[in-house]
Structure 1
Amino acid sequence: MEHLEIERKFLILSDTFKKEAYQKDRLVQGYLNTHPDRTVRVRIMNHEAFITVKGPTNTAGTSRFEWEINIPVEEATNLIDLCETGILEKYRYRVPVGRHIFEVDEFLGENKGLIVAEIELQHENEPFEKPNWLGKEVTGDKRYYNSALTKKPFTTW
């Protein structure tokens, strides 16, 4: 399924979001391609798997083309073995805030200590409620892109 992904990304001030989360998933993902004009990601989330292709981001870093499809977990596991160096592992919390849902990623492994919240929007200037645990906005900061974290993990900054 394809669509234009519009999202903003923030750092987190505290872990109080965990008490507000209605869902927690474990994700493992790798990249078959991390070219700036296109990334190809393989993700296993609990007992589901996906392959995702993303285009380049706009200049603000808020939107880009995204295509994603479910694939069998066994195939995803085999594809992860073919991925570029740097497999990401993280917990994803889904936290309702107002009319939106924040996806908060708590990274593990070489990115341990990094916690980032993302919110998907219908349009770039859509207003949204900001919870008290939401910190500095890092939308467009390429260091926080998952594909970049596979090459230069947070613990090496």
Structure 2
Amino acid sequence: MQEIERKYLVTSKDFKREAFKNFFIKQGFLNKDPQRTVRLRITNDTAFLTIKGKSSKSGLSRFEWEKEIDIKEAEALFKLCEPGIIEKTRYLVQAGEFVFEIDEFYGDNEGLIVAEIELNTEADSFKKPDWLGKEVTGDVKYYNSQLSEKPFKNW
């Protein structure tokens, strides 16, 4: 399955008033190779194993495969993750026909807030909210796999 998304920095916390849902996420990486990142994620009482391929030249799309796994298996697999567990709250904000996923990071990435919008095609347009800042699509330092290795606090 091909994932098409754009990523932006968030300039204020005003998005929280517009959020229709939020939840805590804990994630780790079993493999951070850019050719095939393997991510483990627990969201509330659900766990997922995700494999992501290398990004396209534009940074807008890449292969993604995801499977729900047993929560106890996920907790056991966290012991195998590479250093740098990511913890964040994800907020969902409706933007016309699309939904922004806004991540407010904690720990070593405290202070970083990033918004992603998943699109149907690379040419899709959408209304940009006032709290949306600089586009960072394709900038690998904003990938969660990189934030686990080179956290925001060290920039």
Distance 1:73 1:113 in 2: 29
Q: 3-state SS of the aligned residue for 1:140?
A: coil
Distance 1:78 1:108 in 2: 22
Unmatched 5+ residue regions in structure 2?
none
Q: What amino acid is aligned across from residue 92 of structure 1 in structure 2?
A: R
Q: What amino acid is aligned across from residue 127 of structure 2 in structure 1?
A: E
How does 1:111-150 map onto structure 2 within 5 Å? Answer: 111-150=109-148
| CA deviation vs aligned residue, 1:39-71 (integer Å, no higher than 9, x gap) | 000000011000000000001111000000000
What TM-score do the two structures reach when normalised by structure 2?
A: 0.99
Distance 1:97 1:65 in 2: 24
Distance 2:104 2:61 in 1: 22
| CA deviation vs aligned residue, 1:1-28 (integer Å, no higher than 9, x gap) | xx10000000011101001001111000
1:56 paired with 2:54, answer: yes
Q: What amino acid is aligned across from residue 73 of structure 1 in structure 2?
A: I
Runs of 4+ in 1 over 3 A off after TM superposition: none
Q: 3-state SS of the aligned residue for 1:150?
A: helix
| CA deviation vs aligned residue, 1:125-149 (integer Å, no higher than 9, x gap) | 1011111110000000110000000
RMSD: 0.5
Tell me what 2:32 maps to. Answer: 34
Tell me what 1:92 maps to. Answer: 90
Tell me what 1:107 maps to. Answer: 105
Q: 3-state SS of the aligned residue for 2:32?
A: strand
Distance 1:97 1:123 in 2: 16
Distance 1:42 1:79 in 2: 8
| CA deviation vs aligned residue, 1:68-96 (integer Å, no higher than 9, x gap) | 00001111111111000100000000000
Distance 2:93 2:78 in 1: 28
**Percent of paired sites with the same residue:** 57
What TM-score do the two structures reach when normalised by structure 1?
A: 0.98
Unmatched 5+ residue regions in structure 1?
none
Tell me what 1:12 maps to. Answer: 10
How many residues are paired up? 155
